[in-house]
Amino acid sequence: MSEKARLNVGMVGYAFMGKAHSHAWMTAPRFFDLPREVGMTALCGRNGERTAAAAANLGWSSIETDWHELIARDDIDLIDICTPGDSHAEIAIAALRAGKHVLCEKPLANTVAEAEAMSAAATEAAKHGVLSMVGFTNRRVPAIALARKMIAAGRLGVIRQVRASYQQDWIVDPLVPLAWRLQKDRAGSGSLGDIGAHIADLAQFLLGDRIVATSGTLETFIKTRPIQADGTGLAGAKAGEGFGEVTVDDAAWFLGRFAGGAVGSFEATRFATGRKNALTIEVNGADGSVVWNLEDLNVLHYYDNHLPAVEAGFRRILATEPDTPYYSAWWPAGHTIGWEHGFIHQVYDLVTAIAAGEQPTPSFADGLYVQKVLDAVERSSASRSTWLDV
């Protein structure tokens, strides 16, 4: 048997998403028969000492403290971007132009203009066999992939409604410090871009359709927060003393019209007290419905509208059978998997696409379209417009 070609990865960023991606790069080759050998070749971060410690802990072979140097290395084939949104465009475009494949965390960028530039660079690079993908990992939860197959097969009939919400509560406390996710110049937007991007993408993925018009409103409940000092908030500080302005939304609500005629309602909030990571989506069709919640991610609820009313009801599907997408690589039926597995499946799909020379999905063009949806929501809220085309 011939030896597999090697795909050497360089990753930028090692915090929350960096850890999730590192775990995926390390684990995927051990459970999936990847068409390429994966090398966790280099980790990049600004602080050399911290980056070295993270590399040793997460399984990376070497480090860089300048992403330009990472991209310039001849032994790197793919750049994995796990940084805040304000650096996505610069790193991704430079990597693509240098002939490196790119995996970029969501949302693709902070602005439509940045996302357009990234998508254009990806289109040009693809002409030379250089591929790119944006990381909407919820697509790769087995229960969601199963729901997509059922909808595509017509099990729900004509789709009429979608209801999607992503609820968290991690900034309910007014003394949570002013992190980068609460600053527009770093994050682009707040709950809208951070978690609203997920539900906008997931709804479009499930329906195989695009949101073409939207109407939305944004709200910031806590206007100022303690300026972070040594990693902690300034508990006990008086308002206006040691505080900084929150420049993004705390919550977002919007309606969406799909090209195929369906209508959707969406909520993204980090102020849903008691909700930790509750991404819920429900799709209603003429012949049935499906419901899924990230906090119970192995379960898909399905309603068959053809059953007689006397016995009809939502049926609980434990999506762990070997024929469920992705699941044959894991455990016997009924033995559940977790949130981190979406990132592992992402690596599997990406490496498989690169080996085949095929465009992985979601593409940068898909990421750009989500950015356009978010932008239309933001403009609708600012102008108090009823509806705006995407």
What is the per-residue pLDDT across 11-49, written as a single tens digit (0 to 9) for each?
999 999 999 999 999 999 999 999 999 999 999 999 999
Structure-token pair, residue 224: 């100022």
CB atoms within 10 A of CB 383: 9
Sheet holding 211-219, edge to edge: 315-318, 299-304, 288-293, 278-285, 159-167, 263-269, 251-258, 211-219, 388-389
CB 81 within 8 A of CB 92: yes
Q: Residue 72: pLDDT above 50?
A: yes
Query: Residue 233: its pLDDT value, please?
Result: 41
Q: Bridge-partner residues for 266, per DSSP? A: 164, 254
pLDDT tops 50 at residue 231: no
The pLDDT score that the predictor gives to residue 242 is 85
User: What is the predicted pLDDT for the residue at 19?
Assistant: 98
Residues whose CB is less than 8 angstroms from the CB of residue 91 and which lie 6 or more positions away in sequence, other chains included: 12, 67, 71, 79, 81, 83
DSSP 309: T
Distance of CA 358 to the CA centre of its chain: 21
What percentage of residues in the chain have a pLDDT greater than 70?
96
pLDDT of residue 237: 45
pLDDT at 241 > cutoff 70 = no
Q: What is the pLDDT of residue 282?
A: 98
In terms of C-beta distances under 8 Å and separation of at least 24 residues, what long-range contacts does 273-277 make, across chains too? Answer: 273/169, 273/172, 274/169, 275/167, 275/168, 275/169, 276/168, 276/169, 276/170, 277/168, 277/339
Amino acid code (one letter) for 150 = M
Q: What is the mean pLDDT of residues 49-65?
A: 98
pLDDT at 235: 42
Strand 78-81, strand 6-12: pairing: parallel
DSSP state of 3: P
Sorted by where each starts, the structural domains of the chain and their CATH numbers stand as: 6-138 (3.40.50.720), 141-389 (3.30.360.10)
Residue with tokens 């499946």: 345
Query: Beta strand pairing status for 37-44 and 62-64?
Result: parallel
Q: Cis check for the bond before 107: say yes or no (omega within 30 of 0).
A: yes
pLDDT, mean of residues 303-317: 96
Q: What is the pLDDT of residue 234?
A: 42
Q: How confident is the model at residue 3 (pLDDT cuts 50, 70, 90)?
A: confident
SS3 at position 290: strand
Lowest pLDDT segment from 99-103, 155-159, 163-167, 233-237: 233-237
Over residues 155-166, the pLDDT tens digits come to 999 999 999 999
From the list 323, 279, 275, 272, the residue with the least C-alpha distance to 297 is 279
- pLDDT over threshold 80, residue 244: yes
Strand partners, 80: 11, 103
Name the DSSP class of 229. Answer: B
pLDDT above 90 covers a percentage of the chain that reads: 94
pLDDT of residue 385: 83
| Cα–Cα distance, 364 to 136 (Å, whole number) | 11
Distance of alpha carbon 214 from alpha carbon 323, whole angstroms: 37
Angle between helices 16-31 and 48-58 (to 10 degrees): 30
For residue 198, pLDDT over 60 is answered with yes
Judge whether residue 184 has pLDDT over 80.
Answer: yes
| Amino acid, res. 266 | F
Q: Are 94 and 65 in contact (CB under 8 A)?
A: no
Residue 2: the pLDDT is 58
- Where does the pLDDT of residue 60 fall: very low under 50, low under 70, confident under 90, or very high at 90 and above? very high
Average pLDDT, the chain: 95
* Mean local confidence (pLDDT), 382-389: 91
Please provide the distance, in angstroms rounded to a whole number, between the alpha carbons at the two ends of the chain: 51
The whole-number average pLDDT for the span 347-370 is 98
